[in-house]
Amino acid sequence: MRIDILTLFPELFESPFRVSMIKRALEKGLCEIDIHNIRDYSVDKHKSVDDYAFGGGAGMVMMVQPIEAIILKLKAERNYDEIIYMTPDARVYKQKEANRLSLCKNLIILCGHYKGVDQRIRDHYITREISIGDYVLTGGELAAAVVVDSIVRLLPGVLSDETSALTDSHQDGLLSPPVYTRPANYKGWKVPDVLLSGNEKKINEWRENQSIEITRKIRPDLLDE
Ligand code: 6GU
């Protein structure tokens, strides 16, 4: 998979992709992530990337020209499955969408900033809009890092068997059951007996019941879906 990220703040992506799973995926060549500075594509003499909103109001709007220039350049090089725009005014991202995007070959992710991008970019180039939750971030960069992480960890070869994505919270629509490791007794805090029983059937039943109980308590809305 190849992911091209368009941003006004490339520095924000310096560390998130340099540790743990994503770092390994990049090293193994399972995916390639290219960060593009939108400012590099501005043709105006001040390298402008934003301007006041027509009609007035506080906040700057990201201009069409530099963003279109990168998108056209990239689209001439390969076919993109989706051109995604990160914005708080979109449907909220869910695991199902991560699963779907992980099957794509080439993705562009445009990070919004300030008041967002000129609507004409959304109308003419964007194929998908993503918000990561009902709160407002300074820009789409951190949200894009979240989305990329959720996609890349699903690529074949990134997770080992022990860390299989199939047992993740949300993958089956439920929250994960509690987990424990050694020692079995820490200062009198004991691990549930069933987990030490060696009875796989009993253990799976216990985990499933815990998942349902915890989901009922913390996220009952997930059980309705
Ligand atoms: Cl994608 N962008 C911004 N700026 N804020 C957000 C968001 C995205 N998702 C939730 N809040």
Total-model pTM: 0.95
* Per-residue DSSP letter, 168: S
165 neighbors 31 (Cβ within 8 angstroms): no
Q: How many CB atoms lie within 10 A of CB 47?
A: 12
Name the CA radius of gyration of the chain, rounded: 22
136 close to ligand 1 (CB < 6 Angstrom): yes
CATH level 2 (architecture), domain 169-224: Orthogonal Bundle (1.10)
CATH 3.40.1280.10 holds for 2-152: yes
Provide the terminal-to-terminal Cα distance of the chain, rounded to the nearest Å.
31
Residue to mutate, 5, 60, 93, 131, ligand 1, most ligand atoms under 8 Å from C-beta: 131
The single residue listed with the structure tokens 């200062």 is: 187
139 neighbors 9 (Cβ within 8 angstroms): yes
Domain regions of the chain by residue span? 2-152, 169-224
Supply the DSSP string of 38-66, one letter for each residue. GGGG--STT---EEEPTT--SSEEE-HHH
172-220 pLDDT tens trace: 889 999 999 999 999 999 999 999 999 999 999 999 999 999 999 999 9
59-115 pLDDT tens trace: 999 999 999 999 999 999 999 999 999 999 999 999 999 999 999 999 999 999 889
